[in-house]
């Protein structure tokens, strides 16, 4: 069975004091969740602070993006080797805000994905459609194109050990969320798309849902067969809310995903 994974994406939020208060509340609880993988992705300036706080816990450190170049004249950018030196395990790639607001193309995403994986870190490939694309019935085609761009560059093997996060753009930061059935439909499509090339790799790939995940919808999302966790935005900045989301995805005795 796939071990559930919940990633908190802090986006451009935080301060030393706020981070410390948040981690002080969350870490004692999150560190007890042996059946659940949890990671936090703070902004670059706080990676060292958060990484030190997470040291010795069950919670992993992640970053929100990475530049594919090893070094050089790339003002304002951060390389994967820098992230690895700071203790990062996960790196988001292709988040819709990077695609929409900063013009990252599929080619940019592929370069980042490849660099992250080559450094021994875990890429979290974000895919998803806009509201216009969903209403036009293009969801599967859009998601397929985003995934096939990575497949074309690295083959199915590059998804072995990676993570995919389905984040419908229309549900990010809007308070809207895909219904559990809508999420499951797209997650199942993603898995079937990859299974056409390798059933074993597709069968162990964590596919997360991201898009206004809250404590009040996390349980129903977690009950879907192909929803293996969540990529959580704003709710990850609220200790109680984030802990409740993690609780919803933690395998319970008697549930189908229980690994005990």
Give the H or E element holding residue 106.
helix 106-118
| Chain centroid offset of residue 102 CA | 19
| Chain centroid offset of residue 118 CA | 18
Give the H or E element holding residue 200.
helix 199-203
From the list 95, 97, 104, 250, the catalytic residue is 95
Residue 24 CB burial class (10 angstroms; 0-12, 13-18, ≥19): exposed
Contacts of 135 (CB under 8 A, 6+ apart): none
Q: What is the dihedral of CA 162, 149, 175, 246, to 10 degrees?
A: -10
- 167 is an active site residue: yes
Which of 56, 68, 61 has the alpha carbon at shortest distance from 38?
Answer: 61
From the list 129, 167, 241, 250, the catalytic residue is 167
Show which residues are catalytic.
Answer: 95, 167
């Amino acid at each position: 069975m796939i071990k559930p994974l919940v990633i908190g994406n802090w986006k451009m939020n935080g301060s030393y004091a706020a981070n410390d208060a948040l981690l002080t509340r969350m870490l004692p609880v999150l560190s007890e969740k042996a059946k659940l993988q949890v990671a936090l992705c703070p902004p670059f300036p706080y990676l060292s602070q958060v990484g030190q706080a997470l040291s010795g816990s069950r919670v992993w450190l992640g970053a929100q993006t990475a530049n594919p170049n090893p070094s050089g004249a790339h003002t304002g950018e951060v390389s994967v080797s820098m992230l690895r030196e700071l203790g990062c395990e996960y790196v988001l790639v292709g988040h819709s805000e990077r695609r929409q607001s900063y013009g990252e193309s599929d080619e940019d995403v592929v370069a980042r994905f490849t660099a992250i994986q080559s450094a021994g870190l875990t890429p979290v490939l974000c895919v998803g459609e806009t509201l216009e694309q969903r209403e036009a019935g293009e969801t599967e085609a859009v998601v397929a194109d985003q995934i096939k761009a990575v497949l074309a560059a690295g083959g199915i093997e590059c998804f072995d050990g990676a993570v995919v996060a389905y984040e419908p753009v229309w549900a990010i930061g809007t308070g809207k969320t895909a219904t559990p059935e809508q999420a499951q439909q797209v997650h199942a499509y993603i898995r079937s798309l990859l299974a056409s090339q390798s059933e074993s790799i597709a069968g162990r790939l964590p596919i997360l849902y991201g898009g206004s995940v809250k404590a009040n919808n996390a349980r129903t999302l977690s009950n879907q067969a192909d929803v293996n966790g969540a990529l959580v935005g704003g709710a990850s900045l609220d200790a109680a809310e984030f802990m409740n989301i993690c609780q919803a995805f933690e395998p319970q005795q008697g549930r189908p995903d229980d690994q005990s």
